[in-house]
Amino acid sequence: MNSLPEIEAAIMQLSEGEMRDLSNWLQEYLNDAWDKQIEADIKIW
């Protein structure tokens, strides 16, 4: 696995469009993780 500094350096090499695509992907990933956590929490109640 890459270290955070390596990932940050790679991100700095992206074009503006690629950075936007990455940002959109990351937001969708975080949204999905949040949804899964909410679903898991609901099952507990």
* Tally of structural domains, the chain: 1
pLDDT score of 1 more than 70: no
pLDDT confidence tier of residue 11, bands split at 50, 70 and 90: very high
pLDDT of residue 15: 98
Global confidence as pTM: 0.77
At 13, is the pLDDT very low, low, confident or very high (cuts 50, 70, 90)? very high
Cα angle 3-11-22, degrees, rounded to a multiple of 5: 110
- The whole domain housing 34 covers 4-44
pLDDT value at residue 18: 98
Mean pLDDT along residues 35-45: 90
The number of beta carbons lying within 10 Å of the beta carbon of residue 28 is: 10
DSSP 45: -
